[in-house]
A and B are shown apart, each in its own frame.
Chain A
Amino acid sequence: MNKQMIIAGLKARPVRTTVSILAVALEVVLILVVVGLTTGISDETGRRTEGVGADILLQPPNSSLFLALSNTTMPIALRDKVRELPGIKAVSPVQTLVNSSSGLEIIYGIEPDTFNAVSNGFIWHRGRLFNSPDEVVVDDIYAKSKGVTVGDSVELLNHKFKVSGIVEHGKGARLFVSLKTAQEMTGQNGKASMFFIKLDDPDRVETTIAEIKRLLEGYGVIPLREYARLMMSNNMPALDAFISSVVFIALCIGVLVIFLSMYTTITERTREIGILRSLGASKKFIVTLIFQESAAICGVGALIGIGSSFVIARTIMAVFPTLTVLITPDWIGKAVVFAVLSGIIGSLYPSLKAAKQDPVEALAYE
């Protein structure tokens, strides 16, 4: 019977019901897409960095795991010290550049020989390695998203580069120039942002990390196989704070819309509440009825929000192939919980106000 009343009540006010449902859907979309984009980019960057194939990542002191955010460097000469440690197969210095003119693109300045030694080399789709300072190698996703092929020009950091080759994605960055070019562009000659280290025996990662830490005190040394996990929001205080802020704003939107919807509903339906009270409906019955109506709005809104999030995620990834939106089951669950929570918080005061109404006054309400 409650279900019948709730459906009838929602159908009687189609515009308000639709707007409320869409607002809850927006709340869910906001959470899933923003969190999905953030974690997707982190996760994809992490996996791509792991995909280099090295065993250890060495960074200068005070560096960020977000390679794009790091502008600290270390002398390449340190490589020789590291190579003297036992079990080191190869050390590849990389200077990172960030091109933000069209999105956020990380460019690796690499030494082809040492980079191939740690990564087992590129898988080539077309073309060849760069031979001159104004040549760049791009990965297949970048080539597809920008519509470029071998021989085309691309502008990076106010420099024109010619695409010399296209490689399979998954080797750290999407663009590669020579280490020397990168050093000149950043004015960091003889320096690198990080070293990728390959070991003879991958099982010696922890031992080697301890040895490097003794050798280079204060430097960042992490096993590369854990890079993606370390890039997750719970290991990144700033990212976690950003996601929490987005969730809070989304929750506020949901709470305010549900509050407004339920408050105007109970004001309009004062007489109906009086009728129910005259029939012997308890305060609990009224509160439950309003909560159930709010739950119905939130439930439908959450479902539409989840569906819309997947559509939006696919659209984003189709339009911007370099972006990844990662919608995970745990965040879908969290978004539903937040939607329900906004329904509960938003309808708390209106439902209590409705239940407290004097039946005689409510019946006299015009």
Chain B
Amino acid sequence: MKSLLETADLRKTYTVGKIEIEALRGVDLRIREGELVAVMGPSGCGKSTLMHVLGAMTKPTAGKVFIDGQEISGMSDSELTGIRRDKIGFVFQKFNLLPTLTARGNIEIARYIHGKGVASNGHDQHLREILQLLMIEGKMERKPSELSGGEQQRVAIARAVANKPAILLADEPTGSLDSKNSEVVLNMFRELNRRFKQTIILVTHNPELVAFTDRLIEMRDGVIVSDNDSLSWDTENELAQPARSV
């Protein structure tokens, strides 16, 4: 499998008043296409910052980030926006659905921004399969306030993968769910990965989540302290070829 995402000596420093906080202190990471990876660590270890950098939401202070063969650390704001639009899907702890739109509207706005619009029959085949998998076909006309937490998160997942992103980044996706709904959502991540070969990175501090992933990366104090990657890497030039869309 080829490398889809790679960082080299990645650093991110925040300045709060006169204090500089080193959230990432030299992260070297490689993620293969189709992997389901958990990034774990205690609060404040830098895992959310890592997710924001990998998701082109913020620029690193130093180091390099390659997404699907493109080095993004020197990109402009509009170029980063394009990367987010074309290659990244986000799932957040607080769901982050647009409250004024229905579930369908939330998915359609992502497709609209991506430029896919809405298929004449309402959904294309891929989206229909996603909705079936996430078991939310019957909830599409409801607003977020009319959905349970688990349902909201499943709509958020559907929105995140509606445009077939190269990478799905999930930040504490079960953080606002009870154990039953957490298990349902995690199984759905697993299924998305299995059925659609979707590359997924789950950022969490919940150790139970590890059982659902292929690989565990542990972080502490802004650096990776362990990585149970069991597969070997091929040549360095694997990054030169863009990944196939799922």
Contacts and interface: CB of A to CB of B under 8 A. Distances in A.
- Tell me if chain B binds chain A: yes
Contacts of B84: 277-280
Contacts of A101: none
A309 B99 CA distance: 37
A238 interface: no
B203 to A, nearest CB: 14
B147 interface: no
B85 A279 contact: yes
A12 to B, nearest CB: 4
B113 interface: yes
A272 B97 CA distance: 8
Interface string B66-104: 000000000001100110111010101000111111000
Contacts of B97: 275
A285 interface: yes
A283 B78 contact: yes
B108 interface: yes
Interface stretch (A1-9, A330-338, A346-354): A1-9
B109 A363 contact: no
Given A280-B81, A281-B81, A358 B58 contact: yes
Nearest to B53: A360
B105 interface: yes
Nearest to B100: A8
B177 interface: no
Given A8-B101, A8-B105, A280-B82, A275 B114 contact: no
Contacts of A41: none
Given A280-B82, A280-B84, A360 B52 contact: yes
Contacts of A12: 99-100
Given A1-B108, A4-B101, A358-B58, A283 B77 contact: yes
A46 B118 CA distance: 60
A8 B99 CA distance: 9
A271 interface: yes
Contacts of B39: none
A131 B173 CA distance: 98
Q: Which of A2, A277, A283, A359 has the most CB of B within 10 A?
A: A359
Which range contains the number of B residues in contact with the other chain?
A: 20 to 34
Contacts of B100: 5, 8-9, 11-12, 272
A282 B81 CA distance: 6
Contacts of A5: 98, 100-101, 105, 109
B196 interface: no
Nearest to A285: B113
B112 interface: yes
A199 interface: no
B78 A1 contact: no
Interface string A1-25: 1101100110110000000000000
B57 interface: yes
Nearest to B165: A280
A1 B112 contact: yes
B58 A280 contact: no
B132 to A, nearest CB: 23
B10 interface: no
B110 interface: yes
B114 A280 contact: yes
Contact of B118 (A1, A272, A274, A277): A1
Interface in A9-48: 9, 11-12
A276 interface: yes
Contacts of B105: 4-5, 8
Given A279-B113, A282-B81, 7 more contacts: A272-B99, A278-B57, A279-B90, A280-B81, A280-B114, A281-B85, A363-B92
28 contacts: A1-B112, A1-B117, A2-B112, A5-B98, A5-B100, A8-B100, A11-B100, A272-B99, A274-B96, A275-B97, A276-B98, A276-B109, A277-B57, A278-B55, A278-B84, A279-B109, A280-B81, A280-B82, A280-B85, A280-B86, A281-B81, A281-B113, A282-B81, A283-B78, A285-B113, A359-B57, A360-B52, A360-B58
The 5 closest A-B pairs by CB, nearest first: A280-B85, A1-B112, A8-B100, A280-B84, A12-B100
